[in-house]
Amino acid sequence: MDTSIKPLSDKVSMFATDAELYAKLTNKELSLIKLVKVEEFMTDLLHMTEKTNGELSIAASSKYNRIQELLLELRKLNK
């Protein structure tokens, strides 16, 4: 798995403000960036729901996996 950081757009910095994003990107490009942000926040949320022994609850794990599938589909549709 390639873990290097790759920009989603050459038009803006990865640290661009929302105003800069909306000024320089198309709706499709914005959608892709927002989907990636959702994935990041979702992963953070998942780590917050881990049990103390590092295992996930079955409910959290199944929900997380389904959301990941949906986000992957959305990202492919928006490319």
Give per-residue pLDDT as tens, 18-36.
Answer: 888 889 888 888 888 888 8
Residue 57 placed within a domain: yes
Residue 7 placed within a domain: no
Determine contact, residues 9/22, Cβ cutoff 8 Å: no
Residue 62 placed within a domain: yes
What's the domain count of the chain?
Answer: 1
For residue 71, what are the domain limits?
A: 39-79
Residue 29 placed within a domain: no
- pTM over 0.85? The answer is no
User: Rounded to the nearest 5 degrees, what angle is found at the Cα of 20, between the Cα atoms of 13 and 31?
Assistant: 85
For 45-66, the pLDDT digits (tens) are 777 776 666 666 666 777 788 8
Determine contact, residues 71/39, Cβ cutoff 8 Å: yes
